[in-house]
């Protein structure tokens, strides 16, 4: 079916990868991207895409009039736009409340008014964390237990979506995804930060002991899962997206060094992050069984090697971000 789709935050890391995915996989769709182009978003993330099929709007999702107009002009909305960096939320919480809560409210009101389909992107961080030796994983029935301004505002936005589905009949679905990695990710994030440290001739940094576990998924797999939910998901349902990619931070740093031809012990320990969650792990049984979705990057090393190659080949993209990012981390002792 030919679709006109609005992607919020479509010039950010995960959003732009999703735009590229549907641009390739659904050639008859027209895509409109709205993005505020904060430090974590760039219109260059969409370079090379035909302007006949892609419209870009610089704007804020809290802008009620603009969101109302754009939602009314499209058939469906995929809502990626969010402030998403935990360290930043600990330092300055308000932008997270404004974008993640107020912005989601604006979108919900617009899709309610125009009776449009919505898919809302969330995170596994709304569930808090698991003990390192806990055999359980997060599922769609896990209780929320957010631990930072970032995760609590994402939890709040999820609850708004559920309330608008129940109270107003909004046609919405939600997905909670594990940690993404891949091209176009800002160098403040864990994997690209360590990769670019090595590329610039410095030792990568490891928070604390490095025992904290994340469940990694390549952004291409996240994109294919979101498309499956948008097209086949049951309204009102939540779907967990994960690829069984549990690795602790020490393992990831050592694998980066190994792939890049370095001694795997050639890293330095830095101060741990306040309230650093211990472990995330996703049970993606529901989306696999109900929608038939399967990840492509089942081998983390393969996906990480592809990602490192992208950063090595695209220095002009990440270089302008690097000095300012490292200056901020130096102030924090990390």
**What is the percent of the chain where pLDDT is above 90?**
84
List the single range of 155-169, 269-283, 298-312 with lowest mean pLDDT.
269-283
Cα angle for residues 198, 201, 206 (degrees, 5° grid) = 45
Instruction: Give tens-digit pLDDT for 78-129.
Output: 999 998 777 788 888 999 999 999 999 999 999 999 999 999 999 999 999 8
* Catalytic residue list: 124-125, 150
Q: Please, which residues have CB within 8 angstroms of residue 309's CB and are 6 or more apart in sequence? A: none
Per the prediction, the chain carries an average pLDDT of 94
Residue 326 has pLDDT above 90, yes or no: no
Q: pLDDT class for 209, splitting at 50, 70, 90?
A: confident
Q: Which parts of the chain fold into alpha helices (H)?
A: 13-25, 64-73, 86-91, 94-96, 104-114, 149-168, 190-199, 219-232, 249-259, 285-291, 300-313, 315-332
Give CA–CA dist 64/106, Å, rounded: 6
Please check whether residue 36 is in contact with residue 15, taking contact to mean a CB–CB distance below 8 angstroms: no
Q: What is the pLDDT of residue 84?
A: 77
Q: pLDDT class for 55, splitting at 50, 70, 90?
A: very high
Chain centroid to CA 266: 29
Instruction: Give tens-digit pLDDT for 185-198.
Output: 999 999 999 999 99
Give me 85's structure tokens.
Answer: 């960096």
Q: What is the pLDDT of residue 50?
A: 95
Say what the alpha-carbon torsion angle 105, 174, 165, 115 is, to the nearest 10 degrees: 70
Please give the average per-residue pLDDT across 7-34, as a whole number. Answer: 97
Q: Please, which residues have CB within 8 angstroms of residue 218's CB and are 6 or more apart in sequence? A: 180, 181, 182, 243, 295, 296, 297, 303, 306, 307
SS (H, E, C) 233-271: CCCCCEEEECCCCEEEHHHHHHHHHHHCCCCCCCCEEEC
Residue 324 has pLDDT above 90, yes or no: no
Q: Please, which residues have CB within 8 angstroms of residue 302's CB and are 6 or more apart in sequence? A: none
- In 10 A of CB 265, how many CB atoms? 8
Q: Please, which residues have CB within 8 angstroms of residue 42's CB and are 6 or more apart in sequence? A: 11
Q: What is the pLDDT of residue 140?
A: 97
Please give the average per-residue pLDDT across 40-47, as a whole number. Answer: 93
- In 10 A of CB 165, how many CB atoms? 21
Cα radius of gyration rounded to whole Å, the chain: 19
Instruction: Give tens-digit pLDDT for 176-187.
Output: 999 999 999 999
Q: What is the pLDDT of residue 90?
A: 83
Residue 293 has pLDDT above 70, yes or no: yes
**What is the percent of the chain where pLDDT is above 70?**
99
Q: What is the pLDDT of residue 201?
A: 96
Residue 334 has pLDDT above 80, yes or no: no
Q: What is the DSSP string of 104-133?
A: HHHHHHHHHHHT-EEEEEEEGGGG----TT
**Taking the model in full, what pTM does it have?**
0.94
Please give the average per-residue pLDDT across 217-222, as a whole number. Answer: 98
Residue 273 has pLDDT above 80, yes or no: no
Give me 233's structure tokens.
Answer: 């998901």
Q: pLDDT class for 275, splitting at 50, 70, 90?
A: low
Give CA–CA dist 292/311, Å, rounded: 32
Which is nearest to 222 in space by CA: 167, 284, 289, 177?
177
Give CA–CA dist 167/145, Å, rounded: 24
């Amino acid at each position: 079916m030919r679709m006109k789709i609005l992607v919020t935050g479509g010039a950010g890391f995960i959003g732009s990868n999703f735009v590229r995915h549907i641009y390739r996989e659904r050639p008859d769709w027209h895509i409109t991207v709205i993005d505020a182009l904060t430090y974590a978003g760039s219109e260059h993330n969409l370079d090379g895409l035909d302007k006949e099929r892609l419209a870009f709007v610089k704007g804020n999702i809290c802008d009620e009039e603009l969101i109302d107009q754009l939602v009314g002009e499209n058939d469906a909305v995929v809502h990626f736009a969010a402030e998403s960096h935990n360290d930043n939320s600990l330092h300055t919480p308000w932008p997270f409340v404004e974008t993640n809560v107020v912005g989601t409210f604006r979108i919900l009101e617009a899709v309610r008014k125009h009776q449009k389909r919505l898919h809302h992107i969330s995170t596994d961080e709304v569930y808090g964390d698991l003990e390192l030796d806990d055999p359980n994983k997060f599922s769609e029935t896990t209780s929320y237990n957010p631990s930072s301004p970032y995760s609590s505002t994402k939890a709040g936005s999820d609850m708004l979506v559920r309330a608008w589905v129940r109270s107003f009949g909004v046609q919405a679905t939600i997905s909670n995804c594990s940690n993404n990695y891949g091209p176009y990710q800002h160098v403040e994030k864990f994997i690209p930060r360590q990769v670019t440290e090595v590329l610039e001739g410095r030792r990568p940094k490891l928070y604390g002991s490095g025992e904290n576990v994340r469940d990694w998924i390549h952004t291409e797999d996240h994109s294919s899962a979101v498309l499956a939910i948008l097209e086949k998901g049951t309204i009102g349902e939540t779907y967990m997206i994960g690829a069984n990619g549990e690795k602790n931070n020490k393992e990831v740093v050592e694998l980066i060094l190994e792939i890049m031809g370095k001694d795997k012990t050639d890293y330095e320990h830095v101060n741990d992050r306040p309230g650093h969650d211990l472990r995330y792990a996703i049970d993606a049984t529901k989306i696999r069984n109900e929608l038939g979705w399967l990840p492509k990057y089942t081998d983390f090393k393969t996906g990480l090697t592809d990602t490192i190659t992208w950063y090595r080949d695209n220095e002009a993209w990440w270089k302008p971000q690097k000095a300012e990012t490292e200056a901020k981390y130096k102030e924090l002792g990390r």
